[in-house]
Amino acid sequence: MGLSEKQIKVILLIFSTIIVFLIPVFIKNQSYLQIFIVVLFFMYLTTAWNFVGGFAGVLPLGHAAFIAIGAYVSTILFMQYHISPWIGMFAGGIFSAIIGVIIGLPTFKLRGAYFALATMAFAGGIKVLIENIDTIGPISIGGPRGILINYTGDSLVNFQWVSKVPYYYIILTMVIILVLITVFMMKSKIGYYLTAGGEDPEAAASLGINVTKYKLIAMALSAFFTAIAGSFYAQWIFYISPQSVGNMNLSFEIAFIAIIGGRGTIIGPILGALLLKPLEEFTRTYIGSALPGAHLFILGLVLVLVMIYQPRGIQEIVLKLSKKLMKRMRKKI
């Protein structure tokens, strides 16, 4: 008796998970492992962005602000008040969620490009703020110099290791948890209402759905999880600055990855990061010295091609191919 399609999917999922968890066992080179961490980091960021940028049907282009908030809050609490980054991570997330709701209240009334421009203005304002303020009372922000995080020795409590392996497993766990949360939410009432409001706000409102309320929930979740990524980045790199965590290019890159992968889908952000980040790292390493900014050109070119020929993202192609593969596997098993 052959296996069902669902059973085959479960087997493939288990097999893929085992491979992903074994990567640090086989890849000892820290530089290569760093690339895997970068890919997972952007998978996480884009999945967090997808709550509001995909399912809610709007286009935020200012998520670098939440990365910066998460990074600075956890770093300041750790460096100046000796509070564990694990606690600071959630403090930054909660603060970002509150800011996200405050920003969302007026901006969700805007349509199309106006909403995107409003979020860009917010992110730009945050960057200018942290760039030009050295201290706020007893709190040192560092201004344009940023903040260098002191290494105190390998410590789980202090979220610090010399090896990249712990960071790999932490960001991998973060990605898995966030994807599971996304799946759970999209199968709940909140997910159905959010998707309805994102696809056709007027029709959803006519059915009694409070569209703004569910978009604010999505914004709060997106801001919270994005800020947690900012905290991870700070401990992973040991240095933060307005340019590294508040750069507008970071906001654009997150959105581009989601659009290319397939915004508003669960698998889209994962596929987008899996395709684009290794391509970007390869371009930056081997072509960047001769042609600075080549990786941004390639990213833009891929975006244009996807928008023309595959507007729903590459996830549609992958799903079609996976269905064909499933049929062949069922015949052989």
pLDDT digits (tens, 9 = 90+) for 238-249: 999 999 999 998
pLDDT at site 1:
45
Give how far Cα 179 sits from Cα of 111, 121, 245, Å: 28, 29, 23
Most confidently predicted of 156-160, 187-191, 314-318: 156-160
Count: domains in the chain: 1
Q: Which residues contact 303 (CB under 8 A, 6 or more apart)?
A: 256, 259, 260
Check whether 204 has a pLDDT greater than 60. Answer: yes
Q: Residue range 243-259: average pLDDT?
A: 92
d(Cα 5, Cα 263) in Å, to the nearest integer? 25
Give how far Cα 311 sits from Cα of 4, 263, 324, Å: 31, 10, 21
Alpha helices in 51-164 (DSSP H): 64-81, 85-107, 113-132
Q: Residue range 131-142: average pLDDT?
A: 89
Provide the sign of the torsion angle of the four alpha carbons 263, 180, 251, 199, taken in this order: positive
Give how far Cα 168 sits from Cα of 23, 41, 116, 181, 236, Å: 9, 9, 32, 20, 10
Q: Residue range 281-305: average pLDDT?
A: 75
Q: Residue range 97-115: average pLDDT?
A: 89
Which residue range forms the structural domain that includes residue 251?
5-332
Using the structure block, give the residue that is written with the tokens 């549609």: 316
Check whether 167 has a pLDDT greater than 70. Answer: yes
Q: Residue range 50-74: average pLDDT?
A: 95
The whole-chain average pLDDT of the chain stands at 89
pLDDT at site 218:
96
- pTM (predicted TM-score): 0.93
pLDDT at site 9:
64
The pair of structure tokens assigned to 260 is 């290319």
Q: How confident is the model at residue 158 (pLDDT cuts 50, 70, 90)?
A: very high
Q: Residue range 215-243: average pLDDT?
A: 96
Q: Which residue has the higher pLDDT, 114 or 38?
A: 38
Q: How confident is the model at residue 14 (pLDDT cuts 50, 70, 90)?
A: confident
Q: How confident is the model at residue 83 (pLDDT cuts 50, 70, 90)?
A: very high
The pair of structure tokens assigned to 70 is 């998460």
Q: How confident is the model at residue 273 (pLDDT cuts 50, 70, 90)?
A: very high
Q: Residue range 167-190: average pLDDT?
A: 94
The pair of structure tokens assigned to 276 is 């684009």
Q: How confident is the model at residue 296 (pLDDT cuts 50, 70, 90)?
A: confident
pLDDT at site 3:
57
Using the structure block, give the residue that is written with the tokens 């066992």: 25
Q: How confident is the model at residue 128 (pLDDT cuts 50, 70, 90)?
A: very high
d(Cα 279, Cα 288) in Å, to the nearest integer? 12
What are the two backbone dihedrals, phi and then psi, of residue 140, each rounded to the nearest 5 degrees?
-95, 120
The pair of structure tokens assigned to 289 is 């010295």
Check whether 4 has a pLDDT greater than 80. Answer: no
pLDDT digits (tens, 9 = 90+) for 145-154: 999 999 989 9
DSSP letter, residue 61: -
Burial 51-76 (b: 16+ CB within 10 A, else e): bbbbbbbbbbbbbbbbbbbbbbbbbb
